[in-house]
Structure 1
Amino acid sequence: MGLTSNKVLALAVVFAVLLFAGTVWYWPRLARRNWRAVSGRVGLLFATQLAIFASIGLAANQAFGFYASWADLFGQESGQGVVVDHNAAGSRAGPLQVIDTQEVGVTGGARPQIGGQIQKVDIVGPATRIATPAFVYLPPEYFQPQYRTRTFPAAVVLTGYPGTAQALIKGLHYPQTAHELAKTGKMQPMILVMLRPTVAPPRDTECVDVPGGPQTETFFAKDLPDAVMAHYRVGKKPGSWGIIGDSTGGYCALKLAIHHPRSYAAAVGLSPYYKAPLDPTTGDLFHGDKALQNRADLRWYLTHMPAPDTSLLVSSSKVGEANYKATLKFIEQVQSKGLTRISSIILDSGGHNFNTWRREIPGALQWLSGRLSDR
């Protein structure tokens, strides 16, 4: 059974309840002062607390999508994706291949013409050879006859680190939110390409082209849009593409739009930071290359490089977010650059969590939609 299985969570909860009941039941029998009784009390307390913590951890992982599997949890997920070429009887070969479909959790979601569709895909970057799974949300209009020749704007949607792509659907409800906003006329229908920035697991590459390592920035700036445009009816002009993410994904989104405004016309950073960290999860990202390290610092980049022609949206909270002061400084700095446009969502309070981001996503998607064209 998988790490995110409901059965695993249910078994952990039942086990914790049984251990708690057993501790209450057997405690009087272990009230003596000999070593066996003391060892029994210690063992019961330890096992009960461990079971409770395991249940809470599993529930939190399901809610927030930190890890996708046991191998992911224990840092054993290191294999790259395998490219499968299909013959004429199956799907065509290419950098993007659809491997499964699922309905959107909305009324009428069983019919793509009403609810749209979520496709699970495998993407292999021709330039970087990075392979990663993703989910693609196609709006209902994509399947309706009157729109059969229309192209749609697209937005790349990124999780934080470690994160799971499924959390963007189950936890942050991006497809459902996009469906509702388009249905009520608050945003135009858009294709969403949902994945995590960790495309070289388990390493957190911070969307950097690592010297001698994964070329993650190139993957997101070139390979990913090219693969999607080759497979779907997506607008091919720079103004057709946006990118949004939370936490690490928010930093990546801002950086990609700043570094590659011809790839992404707009970017949203929900609770982002503005400089790539160096820690055990990232390893040595820059290999002593100070210029590369500076380039990954968004504030340094905006100070020393020409202002990019792109639109940015950042979010934070006055209480509950560690990035509040840094965000205000970033907004002020972008305002002074002229060509780069900046907007913000500042909540009175809200932590670095899914509940906060769910409050910001509807406004962020409306903002993003208003800055993208369908051509």
Structure 2
Amino acid sequence: MVLTGWPFMFLLSMTGLMCAAGTYLSWMRWPGRWALPGRVASLLLVMAFGGVLALAQVNRSYGFYTSVSDLAGRPPSTHSLALQAQIHTGADVAVLTPHWVTLGRRDGLRGHGIMLNVLYPGTRSGLTHHGLLYLPAAYFTGNTERRFAAVEVFHGYPGSPETFPRLMDIQTRLETEIDAGRVPPVVLVIPQVYAGGQSSECVNAVHGEQWETYLSADVLDDVTRTFRVDASRSWATLGISTGGFCAVNLALHHPERYAAAASLSGYFTAGEDPGTPSLYQGRFASRENSPLWWVRYRAPVATPLYLSASGGDPEAMQEARAMTATLRRYAPSLPTTTVLASSGGHNWGVWSAAFGPAIDWIAQYLPGPLVAPPAELT
């Protein structure tokens, strides 16, 4: 059962209500010597369920843990298990959604795209993970030779790709921007960005898993090979919280692949998530993966950055201000937009509201659907 869904909340509420009713009905029925311990135990049980319900509501609001396996420190879904890739070179994305082409054409005629469950294989990194992929309505209607730009979207820690449709309704929000003409029809690529109980920060760990290679090379190449997604510099990144760190760090490292990057409530110094210092095993790897250090000592001229934070999230606000100041001083030619909201916190309500402006900003750096040139005759 999904820990952020209404069925789980309803089950907890009903269980708590039954405990309260049981305590009330049994209060005067406890026999002699069992009266005091029985009443105390009943009260403690009611209070415990109240605490669990409160924590569940906080978890639902923030999307910290979406499944029991995620809570237990295992991959967030049965599809997310990290596998040592035994896949031939040139492997395609495996679509797990049955009859997706038929469903896509049907929804496309209604003006809607389709969100697919997929497996992203990793031929270079040796990783294969579950994820989501959104194809816009235009993918299934009109010219079937058109190729599309893509936005790679990164979730936070803890989290999973499924949090975007569940807690943000990302497809509806994107299609609102597409229908309004503020964003061209784009593909959303939403991969898993860590496995197990420790954040990967989307980096190539020293003597560990190669997440940067997986996300910036394997996923991009596999998607462009499987779908009509443009292979040129027509990709962008967008992430929330830890995913915001991933979005900026990967885009700065690979300006030849990413045309823009947006961070919503992200941070910009490596090793800030619990347990992540072990990924680097030394100052060199840590600083190379810190966007603040990268900007100061590499003075990049690409990729354009969009930084967003809110007043109710002091850590993200401080990070955004520090990154903006560093960019202005050491990389003044790098296009940067910083949006600081006066209120809000570190939650899905803030990220949902910030998504529209962020994707609109990204759109100026992405081409519209392109028609592939005809194949050369040999």
Same-fold call, TM > 0.5? yes
The residue aligned with 1:116 is: 113
Task: Give the letter for the 2:36 counterpart.
Answer: V
Q: 2:173 aligns with which of 154, 174, 177?
A: 177
Residue 146 of structure 2 aligns to which amino acid in structure 1?
A: R
Q: Deviations over 1:132-189 (max 9, x none)?
A: 1111111110000x23111111001111101121110121122111111111212111
Partner of 1:69: 67
Q: Which residue of 2 aligns with 1:265?
A: 259
In structure 2, the CA distance between the partners of 1:270 and 1:29, relative to structure 1 (3 Å rule), is same
Shift in Å, 1:131: 1.1
Cα shift at 1:120: 0.7
Is 1:245 the counterpart of 2:239? The answer is: yes
* CA displacement at 1:7 relative to structure 2: 4.1
Q: 1:63 to 1:319 in 2, by over 3 A?
A: closer
SS of 2:168 mapped into structure 1: coil
2:131 equivalent to 1:134:
yes
Equivalent position SS for 2:257: coil
- Which residue identity lines up with residue 160 of structure 1 in the other structure? G
Amino acid at match of 1:70: V
The match for 1:317 is 310
- Residues 326-335 or 173-182, more deviating: 326-335
Unaligned runs of 5+ in 2: 371-378
2:327 aligned residue (319, 322, 334): 334
| 2:375 paired residue number | none
Q: After the TM superposition, which residues 214-229 of structure 1 pair with which residues of structure 2 at under 5 Å, given as runs?
A: 214-229=209-224
Q: Does 1:232 align with 2:230?
A: no
Identify which of 174, 198, 206 aligns with 1:211: 206
Matched residue type, 2:204:
D
What corresponds to 2:39 in structure 1? 41
8 A Cα contact 2:85 2:127, kept in partner: no
- 2:279 is the alignment partner of 1:285: yes
Distance 1:61 1:195 in 2: 22
Q: Aligned match of 1:194 in 190, 201, 204?
A: 190
Match of 1:305? 298
Q: Map 1:18-167 onto structure 2 (within 5 A).
A: 18-29=18-29, 36-77=34-75, 79-81=81-83, 94-100=91-97, 111-113=107-109, 114-144=111-141, 146-167=142-163
| Paired residues of 2:85 and 2:126 also in contact (CA < 8 A) | no
Contact preservation (8 Å) 1:27, 1:41: yes
- The AA in structure 2 aligned to 1:357 is W
Deviation (angstroms), 1:236: 1.4
Contact 1:310 1:340 in 2 (8 A): yes
Offset of 1:81 from its aligned partner? 3.7
Tell me, in whole angstroms, the C-alpha distance in 1 between the residues paired with 2:81 and 2:177. 38
Aligned partners of 2:86 and 2:59: how far apart in 1? 31
Matched residues, percent identical?
Answer: 28
Amino acid at match of 1:189: P
Please tell me the residue identity of whatever aligns with 1:122: L
Contact 2:266 2:319 in 1 (8 A): no
State the shift of 1:351 in Å: 0.4
CA distance in 2, matches of 1:2, 1:326: 32
Answer whether contact 2:203 2:212 (CA < 8 A) is retained.
yes
CA separation of 1:357/1:79 partners in 2, compared to 1, >3 Å: closer, same or farther?
A: closer
Deviations 1:55-100 (A, max 9, x none): 34444444443224322211244942476989xxxxxx92411011
Aligned length: 359
Structure 1 residues 112 and 317: alpha-carbon distance in aligned structure 2, compared to 1, 3 A threshold = same
Retained in 2: the 8 A contact 1:101–1:120?
A: no
Q: Which residue of 2 aligns with 1:90?
A: none
The separation in 1 between residues aligned to 2:2 and 2:169, in whole angstroms, is 22
* Counterpart code for 1:194: I
Alpha carbons of 1:74 and 1:178: their partners in 2 closer, same or farther (altered >3 Å)? same
Aligned to 1:14: 14
Instruction: Give me the whole-angstrom Cα distance separating, in 1, the residues matched to 2:99 and 2:288.
Output: 39
Superimposed CA distance per residue, residues 286-319 of structure 1 (whole angstroms, 9 cap, x where no aligned partner)? 122x211111221111111131421100011234
Distance in 1 between the 2:208 and 2:84 partners? 18
Contact 1:81 1:132 in 2 (8 A): yes
Q: What secondary structure is seen at the aligned counterpart in 2 of 1:197?
A: coil
Q: State the 1:36 CA deviation.
A: 2.5
Contact 2:296 2:327 in 1 (8 A): no
